[in-house]
């Protein structure tokens, strides 16, 4: 799986979570602008932030990384 595929899954999971970008930013401790950059594929979150995102939106990191398809 390539980075663009991982970014696409991350973006889809954030969008599908029903959590507003501003609320997600508050939950994971970054600015809303940073979440916007994740959504636009401008940047990829640091691993600790990635883990917080997965926890906040209730999605397995294995799915986003393409390790498991569930």
pTM here is 0.84
- DSSP letter at 19 equals -
Return the residue matching tokens 């979570």: 17
List the domain range (segments joined by +) for residue 46: 3-64
- Residue 52 lies inside a defined structural domain of this protein: yes
Residues 6+ apart with CB under 8 A from 67: none
Q: What is the CATH number of the domain that holds 16?
A: 1.10.260.40
Q: What is the pLDDT of residues 33-44, one digit of tens each?
A: 999 998 888 788
Does 59 map to a domain?
Answer: yes
**Residue 70 counted as domain residue:** no
Q: Residue 69 falls within a domain, yes or no? A: no
In a domain, 34, yes or no: yes
Q: How many domains does the chain have?
A: 1
- Tell me, yes or no, whether 19 lies in a domain: yes
Q: pLDDT digits over 2-32, tens only?
A: 888 888 899 899 999 999 999 999 999 999 9
């Amino acid at each position: 799986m390539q980075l663009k595929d991982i970014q696409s899954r991350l973006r889809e999971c954030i969008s599908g979570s029903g959590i507003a970008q501003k609320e997600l930013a508050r939950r994971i401790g970054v600015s809303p602008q940073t979440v916007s950059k994740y959504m636009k594929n401008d940047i990829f979150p640091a691993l600790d932030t990635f883990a917080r995102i997965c926890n906040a939106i209730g999605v397995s990191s294995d799915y986003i990384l393409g390790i498991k398809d569930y």
